[in-house]
């Protein structure tokens, strides 16, 4: 017995712990985007959120992007709607595609299927459940460290790029979402979060953020960040003070504020431990809800110029989740063991995801009202300065479309195949191509997407709207209409 315990202790010491890589901050963290590149038509603002789900989620998000790129005839731009994407948010497997698109833009889709989706992203991972060492490592904190998945991502996709590179290369605000284990809150790789840690976000590798977002418990060890309190002159933001003292602040806002407070307090946090973002929000939409709730300006997260020029906004969520498993509900026994643990985890993640999505829609509805009020209060001189002209100016001409593309709108025969695609980082080519096609078809069948297209081209896409309804969607109107 003693020998067994000793052997377990020795093996447990081999757990794949990750040392923190984030350096202290000198000065202040810069915004995620250096400057928005001018567009031929900057009246459109598109935001995307990609769910978790391993390689299945990466491929589904890629399918959505390809469908958006195919709309060049409507937008008149080289890459269709992709040329108007200003925000992309990703969780777990979806964060891989979000970071790829955020870093390289539409050009990053070229060859992405061959360079990543068709490859074995588990190449360096210990993932055999038959290997006792893998099991012990998993139970001791995680079977795989950053030298597995993060290493692979750097080799095939990001090439050592950091958040500093992301900021200077791309006009797309890119949010990668993980979960703070101690605070039980979403952790957003953003300047505000790293200000509280007195840490330099610009030097953090993109692969580090994606690895944290995809660090499923037991399979991966937590990604660790160090809090460098006392090395910078951190001052908490006004919204945090307001959330602390405002009895009407939402519980999500209070939790997020409390997390930032803990990062600035060395008695509470020396190291932040991050796991899969899907634990607290599998759509990555909580960040947007919090961003709006804490915004000091009515137009945030846009700039003033974007808010004055914008007339149509589309926010699409790519939901790569599979359908529920009712197998064990047909008999008295079960679930048990791993099945029970998975059911508990799935129930928790699904509830958090639904709440996050609903909160985001509510915040966007309020944001539309605030934005219109702000636009209509602007003097014409300010409109001319921000917009370039007052010709055709209509302060109330703002329409938002918020929708979710998922497997639910697809034909049953296709859904049945998709529900067999596992949540892994390695799929066979047929599965990858099936999920890519599902991403395209599900996006095409999303009523809000078709409503957005209709608002751009009048009746030219009525056939597309009808097709969306026939595929199981519903006719929609913009938020607030």
- Please report, to the nearest 10 degrees, the dihedral formed by the alpha carbons of residues 368, 362, 410, 83 taken in order: 40
CB within 8 Å of 6: residues ≥ 6 apart? none
Inter-residue contact 220 to 127 (CB < 8 Å): no
Distance CA 369, CA 45 (A): 16
- 476 pLDDT tier (thresholds 50, 70, 90): very low
Task: Specify the pLDDT at position 245.
Answer: 84
Task: Specify the pLDDT at position 190.
Answer: 93
Judged against a pLDDT cut of 90, whether residue 434 lies above it is answered with yes
- Please report, to the nearest 10 degrees, the dihedral formed by the alpha carbons of residues 453, 456, 462, 464 taken in order: -20
- 473 pLDDT tier (thresholds 50, 70, 90): very low
Inter-residue contact 191 to 174 (CB < 8 Å): no
Question: E strands within 25-73?
Answer: 44-50
Give residue-wise pLDDT tens across range 331-387: 777 676 556 655 666 666 677 667 777 877 888 888 899 999 999 999 999 999 999
Strands 312-318 and 173-180: unpaired
Task: Specify the pLDDT at position 41.
Answer: 60
DSSP H/E element including 185: strand 185-188
Judged against a pLDDT cut of 80, whether residue 14 lies above it is answered with no
Nearest to 178 by CA among 138, 223, 137, 227: 223
Judged against a pLDDT cut of 50, whether residue 141 lies above it is answered with no
**What are residue 368's DSSP bridge partners?**
none
Task: Specify the pLDDT at position 129.
Answer: 44
Structure tokens belonging to residue 183: 């605070």
Strands 85-91 and 173-180: parallel
Nearest to 215 by CA among 290, 125, 123: 125
Distance CA 218, CA 363 (A): 35
Structure tokens belonging to residue 221: 């060890």
CB within 8 Å of 77: residues ≥ 6 apart? 39, 40, 41, 83, 84
Tokens 């300010």, located at residue: 382
Distance CA 104, CA 218 (A): 32
Nearest to 197 by CA among 244, 232, 239, 237: 232
Q: How far is CA 467 from CA 103, 314, 450, 474, in A?
A: 34, 19, 9, 10
Give residue-wise pLDDT tens across range 272-308: 999 999 888 888 887 777 777 677 788 887 888 889 9
Question: E strands within 96-221?
Answer: 173-180, 185-188
Give residue-wise pLDDT tens across range 227-258: 999 999 998 888 888 888 888 888 888 899 99
Task: Specify the pLDDT at position 7.
Answer: 46
Question: In the chain, pLDDT over 90 holds for what percent of residues?
Answer: 56
Give residue-wise pLDDT tens across range 319-334: 998 876 656 677 777 6
Task: Specify the pLDDT at position 342.
Answer: 59
Distance CA 32, CA 173 (A): 6
């Amino acid at each position: 017995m003693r020998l067994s315990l000793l052997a377990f202790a020795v093996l447990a010491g081999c757990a794949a712990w990750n040392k923190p890589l984030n350096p202290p901050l000198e000065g202040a963290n810069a915004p995620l985007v250096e400057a928005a590149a001018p567009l031929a038509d900057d009246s459109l603002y598109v935001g995307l959120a990609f769910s978790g789900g391993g390689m299945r989620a990466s491929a589904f998000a890629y399918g959505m992007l390809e469908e958006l790129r195919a709309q060049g005839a409507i937008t008149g731009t080289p890459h269709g709607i992709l040329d108007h994407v200003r925000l992309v948010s990703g969780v777990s497997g979806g964060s891989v595609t979000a970071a790829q698109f955020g870093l390289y833009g539409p050009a990053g889709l070229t060859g992405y299927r061959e360079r990543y989706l068709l490859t074995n992203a588990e190449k360096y991972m210990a993932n055999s459940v038959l290997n006792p060492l893998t099991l012990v490592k998993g139970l001791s904190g995680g079977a795989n460290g950053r030298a597995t998945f993060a290493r692979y991502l750097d080799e095939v996709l990001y090439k050592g790029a950091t958040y500093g590179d992301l900021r200077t290369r791309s006009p797309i605000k890119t949010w990668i979402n993980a979960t703070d284990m101690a605070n039980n809150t979403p952790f957003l790789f953003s300047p505000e979060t790293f200000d509280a840690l007195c840490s330099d976000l610009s030097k953090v590798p993109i692969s580090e953020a994606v690895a944290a977002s995809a660090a499923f418990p037991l399979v991966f060890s937590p990604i660790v960040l160090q809090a460098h309190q006392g090395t910078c002159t951190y001052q908490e933001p006004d919204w945090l003070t307001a959330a602390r003292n405002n009895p009407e602040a939402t519980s999500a806002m209070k939790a997020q504020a409390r997390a930032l407070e803990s990062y600035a307090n060395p008695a509470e946090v020396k190291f932040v431990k991050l796991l899969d973002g899907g634990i607290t929000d599998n759509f990555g939409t909580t960040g947007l809800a919090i961003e709006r709730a804490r915004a000091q300006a009515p137009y945030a997260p846009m700039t003033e110029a974007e808010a004055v020029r914008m007339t149509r906004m589309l926010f699409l969520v790519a939901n790569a989740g599979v359908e529920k498993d009712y197998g064990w509900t047909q008999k008295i026994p079960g679930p048990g063991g791993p099945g029970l643990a998975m059911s508990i985890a799935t129930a928790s993640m699904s509830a958090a995801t639904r709440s996050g999505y609903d909160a985001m829609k509510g915040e966007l509805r309020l944001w539309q009202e605030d934005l219109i009020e702000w636009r209509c209060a602007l003097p014409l001189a300010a409109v001319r300065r921000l917009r370039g002209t007052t010709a055709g100016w209509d302060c109330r001409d703002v329409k938002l479309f918020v929708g979710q593309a998922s497997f639910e709108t697809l034909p049953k025969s296709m859904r049945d195949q998709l529900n067999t695609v596992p949540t892994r980082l390695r799929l066979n080519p047929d599965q990858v191509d099936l999920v890519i096609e599902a991403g395209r078809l599900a996006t095409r069948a999303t009523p809000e997407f078709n409503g957005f297209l209709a608002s751009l081209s009048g009746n030219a896409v009525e056939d597309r709207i009808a097709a969306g309804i026939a595929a199981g969607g519903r006719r929609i109107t913009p938020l607030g209409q």
